[in-house]
Each structure stands twice: as C-alpha cells, then as structure tokens.
Amino acid sequence: MENQANGLGKVNKKLTSVEKATSTILKNIPVLPSHEEIVLNSLGKTLAKPVTALLSNPPSNVSSMDGYALKNSDIDNGVLEFKVIDESVAGKSSSKTVETMQTVRIFTGAKIPHGADRVILQENINSLGNNLIKINKNNLENNNFFIRKAGMDFKLGEKLIDKGEVLNTRNISLCVASGNSWVTIRRKPKIGIISTGNELLKFGEIQNSKNNDKIISSNDIFLFNFINQLGGEAFILPTAKDDIKSLTNILDEANDLDLIISSGGASVGDYDIVQRALEKNNFELLFWRIAMRPGKPLFFGLLEKIPFLGLPGNPVSTGVCSIIFLTKIIQKFFGRQVSENIAMMRVNCSLDKNDHRKDFIRSKVIKGINNDYIVEPFAKQDSSQISLFAKAQGFIIREPHENKIKKGTKVPVLLISENI
Ligand code: AMP
Ligand code: MG
C-alpha cells in the first residue's frame, strides 16, 4: 500500500547495514584535485602533498643559552680562566676560531664559533676584568653543553607534515619556518543543500497565528555550518515544496557541485517526493533505507554522476546521519584518512537488548569519581528533539541485535567534536 502511494518501484525490504552504506557511499566519492596555495591562506585546508623541509633548523650549531663558548677539553683539563676574544649574537656570528684557554661571549640562538663545543652559562662565571673570565666550578652542569645541533628540530629534506593532514595554526608555523611559502592543497568540495517540505519557513521568516502549522527550517542551516566547519563549501539552494516539479526546477539549476544533499521527503509517505523527482532526472539509486536509528529512510545514489545523499527530515536524523556519513564523505573528498573518534566508556545505566538496527544513542559524558569518563544516555531519544541533539556530546553505538548491557559496562561512544 505505502509503496503504491509512493509511486516507487519495488522496494527492497531488507535494510542496508551502516557499514555497507558507508562503503557504497565512499566508493562513489572521488578525491578532489589539488592546487598550489600560499601558506598564509591555508588555515583549515587539507594537504594534497606532504610538506618537506626546504632547510634545516637550526641552520647550524647554536647556543641554547646566554653564556660563553669554549672547548670542553679545557674544562676536562681543569682550565678555569679564559680570555674573551669575541662575541657571537643571534644573526651576527663570530668568525674567530676558539683556541685553548679562549672563549667567545655568546647569546641564545647565536652560532657556536669554530673550535668551541660547549657553552658555560653566564651565571656560572665571574668576570676578572681585562676580558678575562673565571668559571665557578661548583655550579658547572656537567652533562649539558647548551648546544642545539644543526637540524635538531628538522633537517633539509625531512618530511614534516603528511598529505591528508589539515593545516592548523601550529603546522602552518612549521611550514613557514621550514621555508615552505606555498603548499599543495585539495580543492574544497562544493556541496548543495536542498530542504524539502511544504511546512518549512526559511530562516528569518516569522511563525504567526496564520502559519502556525509551519516550522522554521533548521536542517539547511545545520548542514551549511557542518560542511563549512569540516572545510567544505556549502550552498543553500532554494527550499523545495513537496511536489515533483518544485524539486525538479531546483535540481535543474544545481550545477557544478561535488555533492547534493536533500533533507526531508526521503521516506514512504505520500508527500515524500524526493526520489520520485530524482527518478525523472536519470537518477541511479544505490541504496535506500538503512539499519540505523535514527536515519532509517536515508538513501544515496548518483544524479547524472553527481553523488546525491538523501537525508531524512527529522533534525536529529539529519544531524546523526551527517556525523556518521557526511563527515566521511568530506574526509574522502579531501583524501584524508576516513576516521571516527570513538572512546570506550562505562555507561551509567543498563541498556535493553537491541533490535535489528544499529543504534546511535544521544548521550552526555560526565566525569566519574576516579576522573574517568562515564556516558549517560538521555532518557528521551526522539529524532525530532533538536534540544537534546544540541546538548549531546556523543552517541553510544549499539550494534544490531546486541544483548542487554549492565550498568557499568564499557561501551563504544562516538564523540561529537566540540565545534559541530
Ligand atoms: P520528512 O522526512 O519530510 O517526513 O520530515 C520529517 C520531519 O522532519 C517532519 O516533522 C518535518 O517537518 C521535519 N523537517 C523536515 N525538514 C526539516 C528542516 N529542513 N528543518 C527542520 N525540520 C524539518
Ligand atoms: Mg517532508
């Protein structure tokens, strides 16, 4: 009955597993092309080629302290008085060669002069006047020569940052210091977002007594921020009404995108028109409906070769499916390692036997008495509850058909990153 109303062809009753869905999606997501970019503009972008040191740091042996550079063999031979023959400052080194019983006044970062192989801290010497110093032997730190060897930090040609890494403030400074003014980065994926639903008001539109059967669309804003936060480039396309023509018109204009995401209308109701509209546009459906809670109506396919992810409209379903699938899609576009941040934590209540769907239980993480982390699922798990989704710090992952779990058992928790 529902299939007839929906108008879709034969529906595969068997739900696709989350793992199969993930591999099908990722097989159809290409790694995007790369280009050269000035490193100053590279914050948050992904390296397509590793960064290699174009110089060594430090470029030569330098002092790590303010003091006096001299021969260690003199110290070994019990020499205590030295003649100061020159000065070596960071950026202005001494060209003199240090002979026995001679020293060069030296400062942090300055090049160690020829002949010297040890620095004595300035607080360990007394000045005798006439360019003579005497070492206060009691304070000598025998095992520290206070020299940073050339290339101690990194050496010319050394691989410093792997491809696939996201450039952050720290590794950009490493690029700069290692002489890399340009880096090879991946192009950002351009991702179009289409919300569907007759009930949707756009951000900024006001709900009033005449339209109180309407709701403010939040999925598009969520997806926009989510994509941008993960380094992609999001475009909110017009909102589609629940009719095929409205969606088809929007799809006709959706050019030059690496991925299209719809929210809503993915299920089997009379007004769930997304797949029917797509079918009219040469759509190749790769799966529909997955063994997952929330997110069962999710589908994925190719629209004229463009990957198309159909998300369910419930905001928590959109959110959880984005965290589970869209994160990996974006990682793949960037050629990054596809990964999830999962930690094992004790659960502070018992959990019933699970059914056939993989469950992602919205939860909060609390500090236990031993400073370990404990996971606490929210009592309510309805997929419409934006307020609880906003508070969640992670999802307890429950495999299909998993047995009852006792309070205190360690369970896998997928941690939601703080900026999502
Ligand atoms: P649907 O998947 O279209 O059946 O929608 C499921 C539920 O999600 C309905 O209660 C919709 O009103 C709601 N919904 C759909 N799209 C959005 C959206 N863009 N923002 C917030 N809620 C939505
Ligand atoms: Mg709808």
Quote the ligand 1 centre to 264 CA distance (angstroms).
Answer: 5
Give the end of a domain, one of 333, 362, 379: 333
Mean pLDDT value of segment 125-149: 89
> In this structure, are 99 and 143 located in the same domain?
yes
For a substitution probing ligand 1, which of 225, 263, 276, 289 has the most ligand atoms within 8 Å of its CB? 263
The tokens describing 5, both together, are 């109303």
Largest CA distance in the chain: 105
Check residue 3 and give its pLDDT.
40
Check residue 141 and give its pLDDT.
67
Whether residue 2 lies inside any domain: the answer is no
Rounded alpha-carbon distances, angstroms, from residue 114 to 66, 96, 100, 175, 225: 17, 7, 12, 30, 57
Mean pLDDT value of segment 348-354: 97
- Ligand 1: atom nearest CA of 196 is 16
Q: Is 178 in the pocket of ligand 1 (CB under 6 A)?
A: no
Whether residue 28 lies inside any domain: the answer is yes
Whether residue 5 lies inside any domain: the answer is no
Check residue 280 and give its pLDDT.
86
Mean pLDDT value of segment 260-281: 92
- Ligand 1: atom nearest CA of 195 is 19
Give the end of a domain, one of 333, 367, 390: 333
Residue 247 has pLDDT above 70, yes or no: yes
> In this structure, are 204 and 285 located in the same domain?
yes
Whether residue 6 lies inside any domain: the answer is no
In tens, the pLDDT along 141-158 reads 677 899 999 999 999 999
Quote the ligand 2 centre to 68 CA distance (angstroms).
Answer: 77
Question: What is the number of structural domains in the chain?
Answer: 4
> In this structure, are 179 and 113 located in the same domain?
no
Give the end of a domain, one of 186, 203, 234: 186
Percent of the chain residues past pLDDT 90, beyond the cut = 88
Q: Is 64 in the pocket of ligand 1 (CB under 6 A)?
A: no
Q: Is 215 in the pocket of ligand 1 (CB under 6 A)?
A: yes
In tens, the pLDDT along 291-326 reads 999 999 999 999 999 999 999 999 999 999 999 999
Quote the ligand 1 centre to 321 CA distance (angstroms).
Answer: 14
Check residue 269 and give its pLDDT.
87
Quote the ligand 1 centre to 296 CA distance (angstroms).
Answer: 14
Mean pLDDT value of segment 330-339: 95
Residue 8 has pLDDT above 70, yes or no: no
Quote the ligand 2 centre to 8 CA distance (angstroms).
Answer: 16
Burial 169-191 (b: 16+ CB within 10 A, else e): eebbebbeebebeebbbbbbbbb
The torsion angles phi and psi of 8, rounded to 5 degrees, stand at -80, 155
> In this structure, are 347 and 220 located in the same domain?
no
Measured distance CA(68)–CA(119) in Å, rounded: 5
- CATH number for the domain spanning 279: value is 3.40.980.10
Of the pLDDT bands very low, low, confident and very high (cuts 50, 70, 90), residue 38 is: very high
Q: Is 310 in the pocket of ligand 1 (CB under 6 A)?
A: no
Measured distance CA(337)–CA(326) in Å, rounded: 14
Of the pLDDT bands very low, low, confident and very high (cuts 50, 70, 90), residue 4 is: very low
Cβ-contact 259, 311 below 8 angstroms: no
What is the value of pTM for the model shown? Answer: 0.89
Place of tokens 């992609």: 232
Whether residue 347 lies inside any domain: the answer is yes
> In this structure, are 209 and 309 located in the same domain?
yes
Check residue 2 and give its pLDDT.
36
How many beta carbons lie within 10 A of that of residue 207, not counting itself? 12
In tens, the pLDDT along 75-84 reads 999 999 999 9
Whether residue 398 lies inside any domain: the answer is yes
Measured distance CA(272)–CA(264) in Å, rounded: 7
Measured distance CA(134)–CA(137) in Å, rounded: 9
Residue 268 has pLDDT above 60, yes or no: yes
Mean pLDDT value of segment 372-395: 96
Check residue 242 and give its pLDDT.
95
> In this structure, are 291 and 203 located in the same domain?
yes
Mean pLDDT value of segment 168-185: 98
* Average pLDDT value for the chain: 94
> In this structure, are 365 and 382 located in the same domain?
yes
> In this structure, are 219 and 254 located in the same domain?
yes
Quote the ligand 2 centre to 197 CA distance (angstroms).
Answer: 4
> In this structure, are 198 and 313 located in the same domain?
yes
Ligand 1: residue whose CA is nearest its atom 15: 313
DSSP per-residue letters across 217-275:
--HHHHHHHHHHHTT-EEEEPPPBPSSHHHHHHHHHH--S-SEEEEES--SSSTT--HH
- Of 4-13, 205-214, 354-363, 410-419, least confident by mean pLDDT is 4-13
Quote the ligand 1 centre to 319 CA distance (angstroms).
Answer: 12
- CATH number for the domain spanning 182: value is 3.90.105.10
Mean pLDDT value of segment 355-360: 98
Q: Is 268 in the pocket of ligand 1 (CB under 6 A)?
A: no
Whether residue 10 lies inside any domain: the answer is no
> In this structure, are 219 and 286 located in the same domain?
yes
The torsion angles phi and psi of 160, rounded to 5 degrees, stand at -105, -40
- CATH number for the domain spanning 91: value is 2.170.190.11
**Which domain, by its residues, includes 314?**
18-32+188-333
Q: Is 239 in the pocket of ligand 1 (CB under 6 A)?
A: no
Percent of the chain residues past pLDDT 70, beyond the cut = 96
Whether residue 109 lies inside any domain: the answer is yes
> In this structure, are 307 and 350 located in the same domain?
no
> In this structure, are 249 and 307 located in the same domain?
yes
- Ligand 1: atom nearest CA of 242 is 3
Q: Is 313 in the pocket of ligand 1 (CB under 6 A)?
A: yes
- CATH number for the domain spanning 397: value is 2.40.340.10
